Amino acid sequence: MNYSVSEENYIKAIYNLNGNKQPVSTNALADIMATKPASVTDMLKKLKTKKLIIYQPYQGCKLSAEGVKVALNIVRRHRLWEYFLAEKLKFEWNEIHVIAEELEHVSNPKLIERLDEYLGFPRFDPHGDPIPDHEGKMQMLKQVKLTQLPLHTPAKVSGLTDQSTDMLELLRHSNICIGTDVEINRKFGFDHSVEIKIPGNPLFIISEQAAQHILVHHE
Amino acid sequence: MNYSVSEENYIKAIYNLNGNKQPVSTNALADIMATKPASVTDMLKKLKTKKLIIYQPYQGCKLSAEGVKVALNIVRRHRLWEYFLAEKLKFEWNEIHVIAEELEHVSNPKLIERLDEYLGFPRFDPHGDPIPDHEGKMQMLKQVKLTQLPLHTPAKVSGLTDQSTDMLELLRHSNICIGTDVEINRKFGFDHSVEIKIPGNPLFIISEQAAQHILVHHE
DNA sequence: AATATTTTTTAGATTTACCTAAAAATAAAT
DNA sequence: ATTTATTTTTAGGTAAATCTAAAAAATATT
């Protein structure tokens, strides 16, 4: 029921590579974990005996049902800490991941429940990724670039793919933050710029270049 | 410059046992660390080569100047997290220590500085122990039981030696919290109860039994 | 299909932080 | 001042997580 930091990191890596449900190769894991394939094989054997993965030699691996549960719990911890770092400690979005990698291994369950409550039960982290609840369920909204959002479709800003100060300046000027409700009112064919509607604000136009880097969630 | 969790725990233990400046014995350390003396000897050799302790076989050990610096940094992290857990996440005082033992090993310096700032640069943790600043300096006020506070001496409530719900109820009723400014106005010889003055509040009396468990700081 | 290439696993070492059991040094007691 | 008891250290071993080098299996190429 309690796993080492190393085990947790492998489980997390398998989970992240496994999005497509295809088995994860030993080399791919070695790459992500910045280690050697031989070391990965050792760990895969161990995780297999603990029934966290399904693994046959030379066939790659994938998480078992129990493994997914463990992975979701790690992801939950990681994303809650990311939210805390950005929202409360005012870290920039590009700094939070590394720190959360350390904090995520502090696994006291009551701590995580209290943190969740303290943060107001956020459902998305500052990168726009959904935060699993204490049962492992998470909201699976479509995340798309603002350029791909259909016309007149209510959406919520969930992340950025560019966190440069120039970008942040532009967003601040437009009153766009994580969580802001937006809708595309009109698209201009000429330069592909888009007209944005934010409830309570006047309409305004944003360039394709900028819109490309803004991620939004919608149903 | 970066130490393992185990190394940090030894340094912390030596620091805690070393308050009286006497060298710490191998057995005393083994006891605290819940390990065997032979294991302690191994670690002491390692810490010596890293110049964190002064150690001669059979002579016990004490922290070097560098060791003290490292220890104070660990203590700083521990106490800041304790403050966070009690103040923000509303944990009871008896729950915070164990969780802070885990969090204290997350050593990203910027995280700790931001946390300190977020908490408002507290100078005492919820147990009333001083929090070292980022240079390792801490306020060394006298901590005494309320029963031992001299008459008419301004002091600040810094901790409790009894955290039972009964005790907390009594304190809430008297408007006493961590950080409350108090002063003893009068002591009654008959039952050793004390009359308390809190700025802006009416005077009130508290039993010796209760006052014994309230810790205060004064100059 | 046979050979070459890539991927993965085995075999044997290393490091960290422990352990037990026995030896050596120190301290206490006769 | 010996002997006894305690404390501490050495010697040798274990488990976790890594490594290198070599063997084996799977995949790709001619």
3-state SS of chain A is CCCCHHHHHHHHHHHHHCCCCCCECHHHHHHHCCCCHHHHHHHHHHHHHCCCEEECCCCCEEECHHHHHHHHHHHHHHHHHHHHHHHCCCCCCCCHHHHHHHHCCCCCHHHHHHHHHHHCCCCECCCCCECCCCCCCCCCCEEEEHHHCCCCCCEEEEEECCCCHHHHHHHHHHCCCCCCEEEEEEECCCCCCEEEECCCCCCEEECHHHHCCEEEEEC
Q: What is the ipTM, given to two decimal places?
A: 0.83
**Angle formed by the axes of helices A65-87 and A5-17, to 10°?**
100
Question: What pLDDT sits at residue B179?
Answer: 80
Per the model's pLDDT, the better-predicted residue between A81 and A142 turns out to be A81
Question: What pLDDT sits at residue B20?
Answer: 64
CB contact under 8 A, A99 and B88: no
Residue A121 has, within 13 A of its CA and on its CB side, a CA count of 5
Residues 6 or more apart in contact with residue B5 via CB below 8 angstroms: B105
Which residue of B90, B99, B106, B107 is the best one to mutate when testing the A interface, meaning the one whose CB has the most A CBs within 10 A? B106
Rounded percentage of chain B residues whose pLDDT exceeds 90:
75
A142-218 and A5-63 share a CATH fold = no
- Whether the pLDDT of residue B133 is over 80: the answer is yes
B58-88 residues labelled b (16+ CB within 10 A) or e (exposed): eebbbbbeebbebbbbbbbbbbbbbbbbbbe
- Whether the pLDDT of residue A161 is over 90: the answer is no
Query: CA of B145 and C1' of C28: distance in angstroms?
Result: 39
Rounded percentage of chain B residues whose pLDDT exceeds 70:
100
Question: What pLDDT sits at residue B181?
Answer: 92
Question: What pLDDT sits at residue B141?
Answer: 78
Nearest nucleotide to the CA of B34, by C1', is C18
Query: CA of A213 and C1' of C17: distance in angstroms?
Result: 47
pLDDT tens, position by position, B88-110? 999 988 899 999 999 999 989 99
Residues of B in contact with A5 (CB under 8 A): none
Which two three-digit tokens encode residue A88?
């409360």
CB contact under 8 A, B91 and A108: no
Rounded percentage of chain A residues whose pLDDT exceeds 70:
100
Question: What pLDDT sits at residue B121?
Answer: 96
**Average pLDDT across chain B, whole number:** 93
Query: How many cross-chain Cβ pairs, A to B, lie less than 8 Å apart?
Result: 39
CB contact under 8 A, B95 and A88: no
CB contact under 8 A, B99 and A89: no
What A52-57 contacts at long range (C-beta under 8 Å, 24+ apart), as own/partner pairs, is A52/A7, A52/A11, A53/A14
Task: For tokens 């592909």, name the residue.
Answer: A192
Whether A96 and chain B come into contact, CB under 8 Å, resolves to no
Closest CA-bearing residue to C1' of D27: A58
Question: What pLDDT sits at residue A159?
Answer: 80
Query: CA of B41 and C1' of C14: distance in angstroms?
Result: 21
How many Cβ atoms sit within 10 Å of the Cβ of residue B216? 27
Per the model's pLDDT, the better-predicted residue between A15 and A165 turns out to be A15
Residues of B in contact with A115 (CB under 8 A): 89
Residue A25 has, within 13 A of its CA and on its CB side, a CA count of 3
Question: What pLDDT sits at residue B160?
Answer: 82
Q: How far apart are CA A175 and CA B57, in angstroms?
A: 66
Residues of A in contact with B112 (CB under 8 A): none
Query: CA of A93 and C1' of D30: distance in angstroms?
Result: 51
Rounded mean pLDDT, A167-182:
88
pLDDT tens, position by position, B17-32? 987 689 999 999 999 9
B90 CA to chain A: closest CA distance, Å? 8
CB contact under 8 A, A85 and B118: no
Into which CATH architecture does domain B5-63 fall?
Orthogonal Bundle (1.10)
Phi, psi torsion values for B204, nearest 5 degrees? -155, 165
B206 CA to chain A: closest CA distance, Å? 34
Phi, psi torsion values for B196, nearest 5 degrees? -105, 140
Closest CA-bearing residue to C1' of C24: B58
Selecting from B85, B103, B114 the residue whose C-beta is nearest the C-beta of A89 gives: B114
Closest CA to A115 of B78, B117, B88: B88
Which residue of B4, B78, B111, B121 is the best one to mutate when testing the A interface, meaning the one whose CB has the most A CBs within 10 A? B111
pLDDT band (50, 70, 90) for residue A4 = very high
Q: Tell me the CA distances in angstroms from A178 to A96, A166, A171, A219, one per residue in order.
A: 15, 17, 10, 17
CB contact under 8 A, B99 and A111: yes
Rounded percentage of chain A residues whose pLDDT exceeds 90:
76
Question: What pLDDT sits at residue A219?
Answer: 83
- The residue extents of the domains of chain B are 5-63, 142-218
Residues of B in contact with A99 (CB under 8 A): 106, 108, 110-111
B99 CA to chain A: closest CA distance, Å? 7
Rounded mean pLDDT, B158-169:
84
Question: What pLDDT sits at residue A143?
Answer: 82
Rounded mean pLDDT, A144-155:
93
Into which CATH architecture does domain B142-218 fall?
Roll (2.30)
User: What is the bridge-based pairing of β-strands A53-55 and A61-63?
Assistant: antiparallel
Whether B134 and chain A come into contact, CB under 8 Å, resolves to no
Rounded mean pLDDT, B2-12:
97
Question: What pLDDT sits at residue A56?
Answer: 97
**Angle formed by the axes of helices A96-103 and A65-87, to 10°?**
130
Residue B192 gets the label, from left (phi > 0), alpha (psi -120 to 50) or beta, of: left
By the 8 A CB rule, do A75 and A13 touch?
Answer: no
End-to-end CA separation in angstroms for chain B: 36
Per the model's pLDDT, the better-predicted residue between A201 and A4 turns out to be A4
pLDDT tens, position by position, A39-85? 999 999 999 999 999 999 999 999 999 999 999 999 999 999 999 99
CB contact under 8 A, B95 and A114: no
Whether A109 and chain B come into contact, CB under 8 Å, resolves to no
pLDDT tens, position by position, B42-97? 999 999 999 999 999 999 999 999 999 999 999 999 999 999 999 999 998 889 99
Question: What pLDDT sits at residue B125?
Answer: 87
User: What does the DSSP 8-state code read for residue B124?
Assistant: B
Selecting from A99, A108, A111 the residue whose C-beta is nearest the C-beta of B111 gives: A99
